[in-house]
Structure 1
Amino acid sequence: MNIIVFGATGDVGSRIVSEALARNHSVTAVVRKETQIDTLPPSASGRVADVTNTEQVSELMTGHDLAISALRPPDGQEEILVELTKSVLTASAKTGVRALIVGGAASLKVPDLGQHTVLTAPGFLPADVVPIAQACQAQFELFSTEIDADWTYLCPPAMLMPGERTGQYRTGTDALVVDADGNSAIAMEDFAVAMIDEAQTARHRKERFTVAY
């Protein structure tokens, strides 16, 4: 499969690139700055792009089997996440290339708290992550109106951190996946596994899903 990854040097994006390459997919890795090209795996094809430029994104996306957006805005610029995601979805619709989006956990319901989500549950989020959670909620709301692109939106659990690849995870739909102790977590390495599994199986077309241990 010929995959293009936007946000290819981020914490999650870099692991998605590595997982795709390990499964012998061809990867075009898109970054914001020329200096980031040197940090990519040698077997990835690096490209520099301004993802807010939808025409540029469309040109890069053309000819690929699949696009993955692992874009995250810099601290203090969280609001541009919606614009970046719109650009990828518009390019996806224009080119006919399926788009997998790395989302956030903000919109997921918290078990045993009724209709409260990660964003709305009182005291659930530390204050410093509220801005990106609000941006991820706005990002998710795009998909209630997005009808042209062939998309999948993958939400992380409450805790997403560097770790060891096990190849194991459980899936859910609109609520946090938790273990017997109420924990909701996954290593970034296994989140990447779930993303490339979805790339290969297309089990959640035009759906949101989530993963955790």
Structure 2
Amino acid sequence: MAGTAVVDEAHSRGHDIVAVARTAPPISGRARVESVAADVANSSAIATVVAGADAVVLTIRLAPGDEHRLARLTRTVLDSAAQHGTPLLVIGGAAPLRSPRDPGRRVIDEEDFVPAEWQALAQASLDQFDVCGAHTAADWTYLSPPAVLEPGERTGGYRRGTDTLLMGVGGRSRVTAPDLAIAVVDELENPRGDRHFTIAEHE
């Protein structure tokens, strides 16, 4: 969902794009978009893609039960980004963010934001964030979406924060995938220098 939205947004702004997936997505009739099949677990294949890029956006969605692989797969891409000096933007999870109710707690510790059935995925995103933090050689940025990232319309706006979950009217913390993609491409085009940032729907 997020990856497709980023491709659409970057394409609309005239960028040349290489869309990479384990099974190459069917992309036809779109100039400046190349579809490549590569498994993120294959370090050689990923290094080849990263070597020719001006920037890389990483978004990984694993099947239930495979969440524990997320940090290891992210490290593979971090290693390639460091080797080739390529900036890497990781679209991760909300778990590493600080709670807006208690800055001493993280979102993963707030059941209202992360119910029990989401704990495995939340822990995986926290582990992913820690892997990024430990990787001092790569030029990485970690984008934490709000509590809910969902399909929807492109409104054209969003709010940006740093390391604390953003809340909106009625206590909502959400954004649509197309609006998340706007923030991603904005950051690629004009990096702000934040290692970790978050966004939410525009109020």
Residue 193 of structure 1, CA deviation:
0.4
Aligned residue number for residue 152 of structure 1 = 141
Aligned residue number for residue 37 of structure 1 = 25
For the aligned residue pairs, the C-alpha RMSD in angstroms reads 1.5
Q: Is the 8 A contact 2:27 2:35 kept in 1?
A: no
Compute the TM-score of the two structures, normalised by the length of structure 1: 0.89
Task: For 1:37 and 1:144, locate their aligned partners in 2 and report how far apart those are by CA, in whole Å.
Answer: 31
Task: For 1:115 and 1:125, locate their aligned partners in 2 and report how far apart those are by CA, in whole Å.
Answer: 16
Deviation by residue 1:98-118 (Cα, 9 ceiling, x = unmatched):
111001000111212342211
Question: Percent of aligned pairs with the same residue?
Answer: 37
> 1:76-155 to 2 correspondence within 5 Å?
76-155=65-144
Task: For 1:41 and 1:155, locate their aligned partners in 2 and report how far apart those are by CA, in whole Å.
Answer: 32
Task: For 2:15 and 2:94, locate their aligned partners in 1 and report how far apart those are by CA, in whole Å.
Answer: 28
Q: How many residues align?
A: 200
Task: For 1:122 and 1:67, locate their aligned partners in 2 and report how far apart those are by CA, in whole Å.
Answer: 33
Q: Is the 8 A contact 1:40 1:46 kept in 2?
A: no
Task: For 2:155 and 2:111, locate their aligned partners in 1 and report how far apart those are by CA, in whole Å.
Answer: 33
> 1:9-24 to 2 correspondence within 5 Å?
11-24=1-14
Compute the TM-score of the two structures, normalised by the length of structure 2: 0.93
Aligned residue number for residue 26 of structure 1 = 16
Letter in 2 for 1:118: V
Moved over 3 A (4+): 39-43
Deviation by residue 1:97-151 (Cα, 9 ceiling, x = unmatched):
1111001000111212342211112454222211111100000111221111111
**Where does the alignment leave 5 or more consecutive residues of structure 1 unmatched?**
1-10
